[in-house]
Chain A
Amino acid sequence: MSCFEGQLAGWVAPAHPTTVSTTRTIAALVAEYSTALYRVAFSVTRNAAEAEDAVQETFLRVLRHESRLGEIRDYRVWLVRIVWNIVLDKKRRAKTRPEGEDLADHARALPSSDRPADASVISSQEHARILALVDRLPAPEREALLLSAVEELTTAEIAGALGTTESSIRSRIFRARKELALLLEKEGIAR
């Protein structure tokens, strides 16, 4: 039995059948979506510890509303919406701390060794400056752009998480990229 299964077995100890069922459902949700949720959180916080806290808080909320689990149609959209609200709330509350100030977090977000093409395209300084420019975009455009970066999410799921339509998301992403390109040209990063 792996460590994960051991923890799961310890967690599903309550004898009530419905509790066991919801516990198993939540454990399955953790296994399936925790990484995607971490990336969603990290795209906003750019801090590993805060992103992990946000993911844990997301599943704690799921646990608090476990009686409603049966009513949820799309778990992925529901979870993304929860984690998104949590990270935006955290960001609003902690305006004082500049994002991505931790060097380890910069390294975490940098192109990994299995992406040599990216490494040749972008340096760490460029990456940091582009992220700073992303933060200067208007909120709707910035949010759509950041969520679009998460590979696990389709445009329809992003629209569901942000409570808008797919066409609106597409136009927001387009506007965000255009604005970002203008800012990059103005800053002279591309040269």
Chain B
Amino acid sequence: MNGSMPTGTDPRIDALIDASLRAISSATPDPGLDGRILTRLASERMNREAEAVRFPARFPLLARLGSSYRLPVRALGVLTSCLLAFVIVAGTVSHSRKLHSGETVAPPGLVLPTHGIGAASAVHPAAPASAPVPAGQGARGRATHRTGRARIAPHARKAPGVAVPAPSSDNSQN
């Protein structure tokens, strides 16, 4: 025993510790431990071999690939998943291209050119509809003349407290 070193305390205590540790180390297994271990190892090995036999029966192509290139089963699984993912993505892209290769349908509000360049720059969006401007007494602060400089209507109704400059002589001449 390696732990038998006196601590400088009561020798009876040292003896007790030594005896207790020795008791632990003298524990003996039930007879036939080696045999039981070997039996379990044999069973484990048989299970593994059975699993190895079952795998090629289910996936013969993958098993042949794995055995010829020394690939583990997990690597084969990852490879198969990648291949499947690629097939799915390629199939989706090909399908969507097939759908849009024929007539192009414009969304509402867009006018597509019927001749010439079919680029996006040639598309003219229709002008949005606007509400009519109220006229007459309802117009507030709107210019009365459509040409020249803008003027403030002299008789327009104003909200109280809003300072409006008086019309100058230049404005009255124009």
* Closest partner residue, chain B, to A59 (CB atom): B37
Q: Which of B1-54 contact A (CB under 8 A)?
A: 1-3, 5, 7-10, 12-17, 19-30, 32-42, 44-45, 49
For the complex, what is the distance from the CA of A150 to the CA of B3, rounded to whole Å?
Answer: 9
Query: Which of A4, A60, A146, A153 meets B34, CB within 8 Å?
Result: A4
For the complex, what is the distance from the CA of A182 to the CA of B7, rounded to whole Å?
Answer: 10
For the complex, what is the distance from the CA of A121 to the CA of B142, rounded to whole Å?
Answer: 117
The SS class assigned to the A binding surface is helix
* Closest partner residue, chain B, to A122 (CB atom): B19
For the complex, what is the distance from the CA of A42 to the CA of B33, rounded to whole Å?
Answer: 14
* Chain B interface, number of residues (Cβ within 8 angstroms): 40
Q: Are B3 and A4 in contact (CB under 8 A)?
A: no
A-B interface, 8 closest residue pairs, ranked by CB to CB distance from nearest:
A148-B3, A149-B21, A148-B2, A122-B19, A130-B20, A181-B9, A11-B42, A121-B19
A39 proximal to B (CB < 8 A): yes
Chain A, 160-191, contact with B by CB distance < 8 Å: what is the 0/1 string? Answer: 00000000001001101110111011000110
Q: Which of A1-60 contact B (CB under 8 A)?
A: 3-4, 7-8, 10-11, 14, 23, 26-27, 30-31, 34-35, 38-39, 42-43, 46, 48, 51-52, 55-56, 59-60
Q: Are A7 and B9 in contact (CB under 8 A)?
A: no
Give how many A-B residue pairs fall within 8 Å (CB-CB): 164
> B9 contacts which chain A residues (CB < 8 A)?
178, 181-182, 185
Q: Which of A109-127 contact B (CB under 8 A)?
A: 109-112, 115, 118, 121-122, 126-127
> A42 contacts which chain B residues (CB < 8 A)?
24, 27
> B22 contacts which chain A residues (CB < 8 A)?
111, 115, 118, 149
By size class, the interface of chain A is: 35 or more
Tell me, rounded to whole Å, the shortest Cβ–Cβ distance linking A87 to chain B.
13
For the complex, what is the distance from the CA of A43 to the CA of B3, rounded to whole Å?
Answer: 14
For the complex, what is the distance from the CA of A26 to the CA of B23, rounded to whole Å?
Answer: 29
A82 proximal to B (CB < 8 A): no
> B42 contacts which chain A residues (CB < 8 A)?
7, 10-11
Q: Are A52 and B26 in contact (CB under 8 A)?
A: no
> B32 contacts which chain A residues (CB < 8 A)?
3
> B20 contacts which chain A residues (CB < 8 A)?
122, 126-127, 130-131, 134
Tell me, rounded to whole Å, the shortest Cβ–Cβ distance linking B152 to chain A.
88
For the complex, what is the distance from the CA of A6 to the CA of B28, rounded to whole Å?
Answer: 24
> B27 contacts which chain A residues (CB < 8 A)?
38-39, 42-43, 48, 51, 108-109
A111-B29 in contact given A184-B13, A190-B10, A190-B12 (Cβ < 8 Å): no
